[in-house]
Structure 1
């Protein structure tokens, strides 16, 4: 039995079962590997450096960075999230466990442990793009949604996506309002200067000072404007910190990790991820993840999804470049924040398009050995995801090999290829001897409160019950 055929059906849930859904492992593996295409930039470069690549000359590096953004964008994290959403339904559909523990109780325990793994990934491994913490929290809130009809789940997915878009638009409107207030203040200041030049020293206008509200409005806009500018000194300080010891790197990244897991998550990330989780539930019920659609349907979804997703990604990339080049002009001349407002829809279409394309190729029987290896990575999705964090941080950060800011942009993808190769080989070899990945085994053991069997010839209580 090859690794794909021996895969577990649960999206990111390492629970033995009598049923197998190989496509979930395949797509999960594809998503895990694909995530590294975008996260490698956060491991090896500062955010300011990536932005400078976009602002810079339209040479080969710019074209590569834009190509990565347009082709993938957030598609792979979105697909990873969708598969996790499918796994929620799979897990909660099970009967009572052999140990007598109710499935809802076990599910909540697993989600709480997933939160712990997310904290370890972010605060221990220093991964600034962790998803596990979010999955653990949102998964608890989505527990009642398993009872909804497929149509209701789809409506909920669309509503949460629209909430994200609405909040993004609202934030943009606040920026526009800040700019309008700044223009008013700037006009008053210019008027004062003109009066001074004319020598009207006794003019009331000359002696009039800005109110506290006007000073605050001016400061707010200037703060936004400064955030968009490239600061060489700050960038150099970041590089120096990232090349230092673990403690220095930890202290430098902690504010960013906290802002992501708190402020960003509760303002925007919650709605973005919830929409993808709910969409994953819908696609699972429709048979998308279980290979039940016709080849013609997958072809249509591949073409339609990629055309729509890549078009929206292209629009977002062009808009983001305009924002970085001239933030004031971007805010003053646009009615929508095109760089981000359609993100849930762009990543959803892209993810479905890429997944459909892979399933079409898989059905055609092409390079099956590769899909089997990717399926093995997917079966060990949690392990593979955390290994990427460990390998990425150890290779680039100062407490490891210290290659941060040492490689040209294009060479980052040489590192991606090497990590992919290691993960593919490791996953295939490991699953020849063990029923679960090492982190999946730990997660299962912690959830049940006792050590679970790990080798293939050992039978867990759950497997024994399922086969009886």
Structure 2
């Protein structure tokens, strides 16, 4: 139950971030000054979500994806089937579903990235935890160093280009560079107009955004995603997700994550805010956040959930969270369908009409739906509807979805 409960929290928590992408222009996701409000309750909505959930919920989901890679490969061996054939059939099916999701529903899809990263991490499914952990740390450290170098290079470029004696050609190059960094901010008004329109206006824009995201975003996010999947594989091998760690080890994970890394977000938030969300500053702060602090806070979240579930045997709330996690795929895509219907012009057309803090009552309502429908569905069916589709596609024949009579 622990691993399903962690997955349930992850898919619900991801909605805290995805709701911003459903409802506001892309640039507003990381910069509240662009759209949706950046003062008062709106600022606090950004800051709290950034500290507690941004990257961490996706981190949980990504680690669990790595853990499931080993789980399914081990099951294939027990069933005397090829783990590689089973895995790559699943990844090919996930890639197909992700492409439909990205191009026809919502451009913020992560399934394509997961499918491609999953094809790579399978090569490590037999590795022992120390090796998995070492490669994960190396990838995260590389991301951190790259971010620091990019930031230093950009600041050096800025200093040369803005110096009194800077030649006109260098000043022009700097202006072009700044222009490229600010492109999403300038596109915000156009996005609002487009996504308040109908299907004919939204579809070409979504296709263009998705193609750009896959071209540039997937290579950029691949090392980070592989690192977290490898970390999840190491944690699964060590018994972390099944509650097999000693209680003091779970407490240590929470102390490091909540007692050390979470407070370090305070100066990070103040630095970002005082820079007015400067894109060059974000080159460094994003990597400090994602590569240095995020893994420990994510681990603390998982440790807390596992500990609470273990201490509440027979309680109803862990079972509901676990049910949400067992149909996480359906909940993830279902949230995209509902979110785009609420905010896009071919639905209710709320895009750009709500401020940032006003998005979170919508999230609470969607959480309530997940917690209600997931156990109801699983009492009647063996899999969620998207889980059933994925399983059927990857196995090459239609799977039984209804539960067998008791």
TM-score by length of 1: 0.80
Structure 1 distance, partners of 2:342, 2:107, is: 13
| The one of 39, 42, 66 aligned to 2:18 | 39
1:88 Cα deviation after fit = 0.7
Match of 2:8 in 1: 29
Structure 1 distance, partners of 2:96, 2:189, is: 33
Match of 2:194 in 1: 241
| Root-mean-square deviation over aligned CA pairs | 2.6
Structure 1 pair 244–345 and aligned structure 2 pair: CA distance change class (3 A): same
Structure 2 distance, partners of 1:225, 1:148, is: 40
Which moved further from structure 2: 342-351 or 115-124?
Answer: 342-351
Structure 1 pair 107–221 and aligned structure 2 pair: CA distance change class (3 A): closer
Structure 1 pair 364–174 and aligned structure 2 pair: CA distance change class (3 A): same
Which moved further from structure 2: 49-58 or 280-289?
Answer: 49-58
Match of 2:46 in 1: 65
Match of 1:383 in 2: 330
Structure 1 pair 420–249 and aligned structure 2 pair: CA distance change class (3 A): same
Residue 449 (structure 1) aligned with residue 396 (structure 2)? yes
Find the residue that maps to 1:67 and give its secondary structure.
helix
Structure 2 distance, partners of 1:158, 1:378, is: 27
| The one of 349, 354, 378 aligned to 1:402 | 349
Match of 2:145 in 1: 166
Find the residue that maps to 2:403 and give its secondary structure.
coil
1:58 Cα deviation after fit = 4.4
Structure 2 distance, partners of 1:338, 1:235, is: 23
The CA deviation string for residues 181-208 of structure 1, in whole angstroms up to 9 with x for no partner, is 4125x5246xxxxxxxxxxxxxxxxxxx
Match of 1:13 in 2: none
Structure 2, unpaired ranges of 5+:
none
1:143 Cα deviation after fit = 1.6
Match of 1:340 in 2: 287
Match of 1:133 in 2: 112
1:342 Cα deviation after fit = 4.2
1:224 Cα deviation after fit = 4.7
1:308·1:350 contact (CA, 8 Å) conserved in 2? Answer: no
The CA deviation string for residues 330-352 of structure 1, in whole angstroms up to 9 with x for no partner, is 59xxxx82343341232211111
Residue 289 (structure 1) aligned with residue 236 (structure 2)? no
Find the residue that maps to 2:207 and give its secondary structure.
helix
1:54·1:321 contact (CA, 8 Å) conserved in 2? Answer: no
Structure 1 pair 180–379 and aligned structure 2 pair: CA distance change class (3 A): same
1:388 Cα deviation after fit = 0.9
Match of 1:264 in 2: 217
Structure 1 pair 286–235 and aligned structure 2 pair: CA distance change class (3 A): same
- The structure whose Rg is larger is 1
TM-score by length of 2: 0.91
Match of 2:165 in 1: 187
Structure 1 distance, partners of 2:313, 2:86, is: 39
1:405 Cα deviation after fit = 1.4
1:311 Cα deviation after fit = 3.0
The CA deviation string for residues 267-311 of structure 1, in whole angstroms up to 9 with x for no partner, is x20111111101101111111101112333222222322233323
Structure 2 distance, partners of 1:381, 1:348, is: 21
| The one of 82, 103, 115 aligned to 1:102 | 82
1:227 Cα deviation after fit = 4.1
1:358 Cα deviation after fit = 1.7
The CA deviation string for residues 213-251 of structure 1, in whole angstroms up to 9 with x for no partner, is x365234344256448x54xx433221111001231222
1:103 Cα deviation after fit = 2.4
Which moved further from structure 2: 175-184 or 137-146?
Answer: 175-184
